[in-house]
Amino acid sequence: DIFPGMSFVQGNNVSLAVMSNNLDELQTYFDQLKEGGKVQMELQETFWSKCYGTLVDRYGIHWQISYEA
Give just the sign of the alpha carbon dihedral 28, 33, 38, 44.
negative
Look at 5 and 43; give whichever has higher pLDDT.
43
Residue type, 41: M
pLDDT bin (cut points 50, 70, 90) of residue 37 is very high
Q: Which pLDDT score is estimated for 18?
A: 96
Predicted local confidence at residue 10, as pLDDT: 67
Q: Would you say residue 46 has pLDDT above 70?
A: yes
Report pLDDT for 13: 67
Through-space distance between the first and last CA atoms of the chain, rounded to whole angstroms: 23
Domains and CATH numbers, the chain: 16-67 (3.30.720.110)
Q: What is the pTM of this model?
A: 0.81
Exposed/middle/buried for residue 58 (C-beta within 10 Å: 0-12, 13-18, 19+): exposed
Q: Tell me the per-residue pLDDT of 12-28, one tens digit each, with 9 for 90 and over.
A: 667 899 999 999 999 99
